[in-house]
Amino acid sequence: MIENKLKIPLYLENLERLKLIEIPNGSFLTDKEKRYKPLENHKLITQELKKLSTNGKK
């Protein structure tokens, strides 16, 4: 059982440093697309993107 979930990245880095695991360069443990969806769909962000898509015209 993991005592502190915030230390998972450090734990994985230590395992790699000790050559117990190999983490391929550029790999992610989570889906990159899914990770940013809550931010991309935030009300303020969608409003700003809408403004930009109309070239700043209101």
Domain ranges of the chain: 5-53
Residue 20 is predicted with a pLDDT of 94
Residue type, 54: T
5-28 as b/e: b if 16+ CB within 10 A: eeeeeeeeeeeeeeeeeeeeeeee
Does 56 score more than 70 pLDDT?
no
What is the C-alpha separation between 14 and 31, in angstroms, rounded? 23
Residue 43 is predicted with a pLDDT of 92
